[in-house]
Amino acid sequence: MTMFARLYSNHASCFDQLPAMEPQLTRVGKLISHALLNGNKILICGNGGSASDSQHFAAEIIGRFQKERAALPAISLTTDTSILTALANDYSFSDVFARQVEGLGNKGDILLGISTSGNSENILRAVKKGKSIGMHTVGLLGSDGGSIKEHVDFDITVTGEITAHIQETHIFIIHYWAALIEEKL
């Protein structure tokens, strides 16, 4: 099998999971839409490539996905280097998102934690903090969902062995949610 064929096969196996996930994906997309249309916001966090996905989703919400519309409130907790470095230095890297959730999150808001391993300690702490203040928590996870899976209200777990293919599937899910949000407007 060529490298291309092997990579394509793994990518396809991640995407092949999506039809069975559609009811849960739609439910979460409607929850996010409802929260945003009722004046709540979405806070999004992740590390590495998942940090980029966090920023990408926030841009789709504040800007637009496919149609012109009013801006909606979304914050990627991965973007403020002064906050991230101060919190990592003064507390720990494990607290960089939880502390922001504490300061920015409100009851009824959505917290989306993205982790391809499902075991990112800073995402887990953010989820626990979000739940403690009454936020709806969603994990966009990989592998077997890891430790985060047990703590979120909604776990969306893409099983796979290659992080990049999990992330490619996550971005499809993010685009689906963006389309659902715009459909509700």
- Confidence label for 184 from pLDDT (cuts 50, 70 and 90): confident
The pLDDT of residue 92: 97
As given in the structure block, the two tokens for residue 41 are 């916001």
* Cα–Cα distances in angstroms (integers) from residue 11 to residues 8, 50, 181, in the given order: 5, 17, 26
pLDDT digits (tens, 9 = 90+) for 79-104: 999 999 999 999 999 999 999 999 99
The pLDDT of residue 185: 81
Q: Enumerate residues 6+ apart whose C-beta is below 8 A from 39.
A: none
> Residue 116 and residue 87: Cα distance in Å, rounded?
23
* Domains of the chain in sequence order: 23-184 (3.40.50.10490)
Can you give the three-state secondary structure of the chain, one letter per residue?
Answer: CCHHHHHHHHHHHHHCCHHHHHHHHHHHHHHHHHHHHCCCCEEEEECCHHHHHHHHHHHHHHCCCCCCCCCCCEEECCCCHHHHHHHHHHCCHHHCCHHHHHHHCCCCCEEEEEECCCCCHHHHHHHHHHHHCCCEEEEEEECCCCCHHHCCCEEEEECCCCHHHHHHHHHHHHHHHHHHHHHHC
- For the cut 90, the answer to whether the pLDDT of residue 181 exceeds it is yes
Q: What is the pTM of this model?
A: 0.97
pLDDT digits (tens, 9 = 90+) for 123-172: 999 999 999 999 999 999 999 999 999 999 999 999 998 999 999 999 99
Kindly compute the dihedral angle of the four CA atoms of residues 42, 48, 52, 54, in this order, to the nearest 10 degrees.
-10
pLDDT digits (tens, 9 = 90+) for 27-84: 999 999 999 999 999 999 999 999 999 999 999 999 999 999 999 999 999 999 999 9
**37 with 29: CB under 8 angstroms?**
no
Of 82, 101, 79, 102, which is closest to residue 90 (Cα–Cα)?
A: 82
As given in the structure block, the two tokens for residue 53 are 């996905």
For helices 18-37 and 163-184, give the axis angle rounded to 10 degrees.
50
As given in the structure block, the two tokens for residue 48 are 């590495």
Residue 155's identity, in one-letter code, is D
